[in-house]
Structure 1
């Protein structure tokens, strides 16, 4: 039940992104004439602002507890979603999405702190993967739900659904969720204490490396998601099949996370993460070959992207656990810093990749390969340094 709860909290932000995808064309039409790629900002504005807001809730949760900060974030998520349902212009929609993401930033920060309160090491990596497995059910279903709501009526129903989900999980939190923060670990709200916690994250080399790895791969994935509607629904003329295709691709990520949860405690998070990266880079190289053909096949593009997403399931949860591991006493602050870097960095990178869309799969294919090779270089450097120190860690 605990894993399901934290997964659903985190999945609210995913629903706020993925449920919009089938409606982007209609929203762009109804909210005013905008440039072709500008519609992507309806998606990108939310995670970028959530990343900027991520620096706040962690420190508050380290002082006042996880539960009250979660309730504030859930309430804000629901109210701002209702406001978006009544937006009358593109500018108003983007402004409301920014406010929504910023004020509900705790939904991405606090699930990691909740897990760190209960576990560490490879056990934490297993819980992270289980959480991601359940969490990924929402982005699988969200585009289908969004398309279904479009069949029932306006795209504004999607925001009403967001609000109802937020209120439902707020009620779950209020009635069934207990505080996980040990009273002995409560941190003071002082600038010096907060700065010390932030500085400790960046001074921990492993945490810095693994959060950059997450940022790079999530950025490439966001780049694909931002441009997926234009590529699949428009370039390949598959508007009705688009939600199903996207759901299948995200299901591959879900399957990878589940497989990782079964493997990681036996093989170790560090080893599994690195090998997952090698596989991801290989799949990205194959995607470039397919996307560079004169008449690329959507089926082959989907197979390559799906294989890469499956490999990513062995990377992100493990990287997150390895980044959070050293911070038992300041899990909220550490989660805030890591979420800020990961969400802002990956959202900005994803927006840049999305804006590079040129009617083909090549921009995000090159991005996937480039980010994975850089991530491999960083982890190889980190692990080589660990090997020299311990003389026992090897792949």
Structure 2
């Protein structure tokens, strides 16, 4: 029988705040950079403005690779050493980006940031799972996510505020200072939550074996691929949002306000989904959301093509609010559906499902972003393509189940 885990003398609210900050570091490292991407590209002599998007894509590439390893590492060596390693890598990457004098060095730093920050995403969930169970775990994760939702709403405005008073490199100083603060806070206050006798030997062979088990499971892979497709369209939005709003629509310093408003729709969807999913189920909620994205995007593409991909700003905002609301419904449900058959290997399963879906999304999201040419049509096409592909995978899976 396992010994009970000491929860330290941390107040419950302090634990929630620390976990929310840990989980938010990745989102912050994306969204706070958006207002500065054009300036970074200009200062580092990027030839084509679309190449600025690699500041986001390389972060996600590192993140997807890191997710494969931190779950098994934490199971073998403990939650705290895995966080120490990951945040140390992220801090090193942040310093490299901060002092970079060429774009290639900047991208190396961003890759390392993503590689390290994957630890915070994976270990946060593991820590909560170690300490809480059942409905209590659900309550804790909901509280963490309610704070996490604030990051994409506020981070672009924070980045823009820093640009008002300082050089873009100060944004990296801010991320660096916050990462160090969180690491020190974690070292001092968070106890280890996995007992020595519960640790499992680290094995690349075991990771490969579990990955093969996931790849062979049609249901897991179908929902993982769907999650990757949906995230591809969203990543295309992240990659091109700064250019669309600041360059195409000339919003300038108002860009963070519009981005934040759209981020609210994702947060509202997550909160609403928690209630509706109990009535309609994850599969039907995902199906309805995909149908909505497909139909609305096809209509909006036809409408936008009449203005050469330059619809009125309010029309674009309404469209994006709808599809991003649907995205907020999809991501939690598709990940939940992918994880449902993996109860016997939930830890490493979460790592591998997250890694595979992100691996899918990074190149496709980059293609959508790189297709930007002063028109919203490539972005809308991305939502059409990947929502329809996801529906095809969903129907294929249903057909497979019906044949059994």
TM-score normalized by the length of structure 1: 0.89
Match of 1:81 in 2: 94
| 2:67 paired with 1:47 | no
Change (3 A) 1:300 1:220: same
Deviates more, 1:337-346 or 1:244-253: 337-346
Q: What is the CA-CA distance between 1:124 and the residue it aligns to?
A: 8.0
- Compute the displacement of 1:237 (Å): 1.1
2:8 alignment counterpart = none
Distance apart, 1:368 and its partner CA = 0.4
Tell me whether 1:361 sits opposite 2:376 in the alignment: yes
Task: Tell me which of the two structures has the higher relative contact order, counting C-alpha pairs closer than 8 angstroms and 6 or more residues apart.
Answer: 1
Shift of residue 185, structure 1, vs aligned partner: 5.7
Which stretch has the larger CA shift, 21-30 or 281-290? 281-290
| Stretch moving more, 114-123 or 45-54 | 114-123
Matched, 1:319 2:334: yes
* CA distance in 2: counterparts of 1:285 and 1:127, whole angstroms: 39
- Alignment of 1:336 with 2:365, yes or no, is no
Q: What CA distance in whole angstroms lies between the structure 1 residues aligned with 2:127 and 2:394? A: 26
Query: Does the aligned pair in 2 maintain the 1:122–1:269 contact within 8 Å?
Result: no
Q: String of CA shifts for 1:306-345, please: whole Å, max 9, x gaps.
A: 1111111111012112222343453332222122212222
Q: 1:36 aligns with which of 44, 49, 54?
A: 49
Instruction: Find out whether 1:293 has 2:276 as its counterpart.
Output: no
Q: Over aligned residue pairs, what C-alpha RMSD do you find?
A: 2.7
Q: Secondary structure at the match of 1:358?
A: coil
Equivalent residue for 1:168? Answer: 181
Question: Structure 1 regions of 5+ residues with no counterpart?
Answer: 390-395
Aligned 8 A contact 1:287 1:305 in 2: no
Pick from 217, 234, 250 the counterpart of residue 204 of structure 1.
217
Is the CA contact 1:129–1:261 (under 8 Å) kept in the aligned structure 2?
A: no
Match of 1:278 among 277, 291, 312: 291
- Compared with structure 1, are the counterparts of its residues 265 and 134 closer, same or farther at alpha carbon in structure 2 (3 Å cutoff)? farther
TM-score for both structures, normalised by structure 2: 0.87
- Which consecutive residues of structure 2, in runs of 5 or more, have no partner in the other structure? 1-12
How many residue pairs get aligned? The number is 389
Distance 1:176 1:274, change over 3 A: farther
Q: Which one of 123, 134, 143 corresponds to residue 156 of structure 2?
A: 143
User: Alignment partner for residue 71 of structure 2, among 55, 58, 64?
Assistant: 58
Alignment CA distance shift 1:182-1:289 (3 Å): farther
Q: Does 1:100 align with 2:113?
A: yes
Distance 1:189 1:21, change over 3 A: same
Structure 1 pair 321–175 and aligned structure 2 pair: CA distance change class (3 A):
farther
CA displacement 1:171-206 (0-9 Å, x = unmatched)? 343344344557776432234322222222222222
Partner-residue secondary structure (3-state), 2:253 = coil
